[in-house]
Structure 1
Amino acid sequence: MPEIRKTIVVGFNLHGEIILDKNNNPETMPVPNNYIVKLNVVAPGVPNISTFENYNDLGNITSNLVSKNNWLNDSMISAMLQENYKSKMLQFVTELKEQFIDENKNNVKGVENEYFKRKNNEPFKHEQNFIYNVDSMYKISEFNKGDLITNKLFYKFTQEQLEESGAEEEYNTGFNKIVLYNFADDGVIYDVFTMLGPEYQYITLFQLIELLTGMGVENLILVDLSCAVFSDKLSSRNVRNLRRRINATNTYGGTIKKKNKNIKNKKLMKTKKYRKNRRKLRNRKI
């Protein structure tokens, strides 16, 4: 029986949606694991436009980097989780991000070229959304036990849908899967859907975390190449507002923007000055 690793790398190489509740708020839950590091290729509300070849290449990059980092195969228990180990996980994701940016630049450039070619002929909205948010790609987030994390739904395309998209099965080695790169000590790269059986065509992030935690996994490196569109149809304005809200809470990815104190102080000075002038005008004798 293969021994399951305590820290594993998970690749989400399929379609994804951020789940919203009835009030159009993203579903969140406290992290049950010791530590999670997450690399999001796209920001909330944005589709990931890519090719099957690109998914294959990014998957190979992840697999190669996992094999080079022998510490990922340590049979470590939770009591041994130290800051230097967290730093290793973060360093791994940072290096992966740099390699992704280099590998993915031609793909991004290709989408930009296609978009600007038909910009005057009603370009596709998902292309526009992708291009306008290129600067928000490759965000890294850290989650400790008890921190809130945003839920996502991941589901597979059918074989018919893949064939309609031009994906030949023999060349499609990386797409339409949730990959466990170092799940056990047998050296096998597992696909979650293959493990669960053919009747499973979708799974949420919450369900996957609970599944892996129940198997003894304590720390996760999540490499999310999926889309991050919202489960309900929203206006462009509502998408932007919701993206800002999610980023502000840091439950999905990105960093919380700190307010510029100088700007705040200038506004405060203007307010005080305005009030002072108002008092003068009010008390002025005519």
Structure 2
Amino acid sequence: MSVMDAPVSNRSAAAPRRTELAAFLKARRARVSPEDVGMAPGLRRRTPGLRREEVAQLAGVGVTWYTWLEQGRPINASEQVLRAIARTLKLDSAEAGHLFTLAGLQPTVPAADSCMLTPEIQVILDALSPLPAAIANSRYDVLRWNAAYEALFPGATLTDQGRRNTMWCTATVPECCNAFVNRAEELPRMVAVLRSGYGQHVGEPYWEDFIRDLIGASPEFARLWAQQDVATHSIRHKVFRHAAVGEVRMSATNLTAMGMPEGRLVVYTPEDEESRLRIEWLMANPGLPVVNHTH
């Protein structure tokens, strides 16, 4: 059965995913210059990047078919064709995976749910102390954490806005009060990872509401989100600040959480002895304010 023959309810559910696919393809096409793929630059280009007909030619597909794909029309795309488009647009592995997901060629992975967080999870987190550690999902919701994590990043756990979410804290808290020193470096990467997770949940109300609220609350997030960048988790260098101790330099490692397909265990390890001692001091003196001023 083709997409056009599918029941109306299925077609309407797929519409947001096709819209996201169209936006992603346009953004990636604009990033690739003719020179990048061995073509002459040509004259009178009104927009950056490749033209649709050039992508179609390089990928070996019809111009009309590719135009329909980029317009978000309900058409089928095979794995072979999508791989050719991914090569043409020079997508990395995370971006290619995102493309396949939006095209419906990857199964939807259920979100990590709080009901999967057994008491043993908290025991494990507590045993990792004094290493800060937390369980998060692909939306950056903080689901469980230990005392060291709360000492390091209290804004993500002691919230009065009902959002225990590291993306929300990173994107919306003013620079003077933000826990991240290297926020400018880390936020674009976090948004790209969020975009990759969003590909599995396009059209789901809770995700759509969260993205809409973030766009409204943070112009910087809105700008980064519009770039359509995608990425996967990796070991990251993160520098935190706390009014009581100063800077704390950590490496963040993301590990897959068993039994939670989209859950991850995030463990922070100090990058130097000074940072280790500062974490221990914060744990011994809980409840101190992160910043030394109010607005």
TM beyond 0.5: no
Q: Which has the higher helix share?
A: 2
TM-score range, shorter chain: under 0.3
Q: Which has the higher strand share?
A: 1
TM-score, normalisation: structure 2: 0.22
- Structure with bigger RCO (C-alpha 8 Å, 6+ apart): 1
TM-score, normalisation: structure 1: 0.23
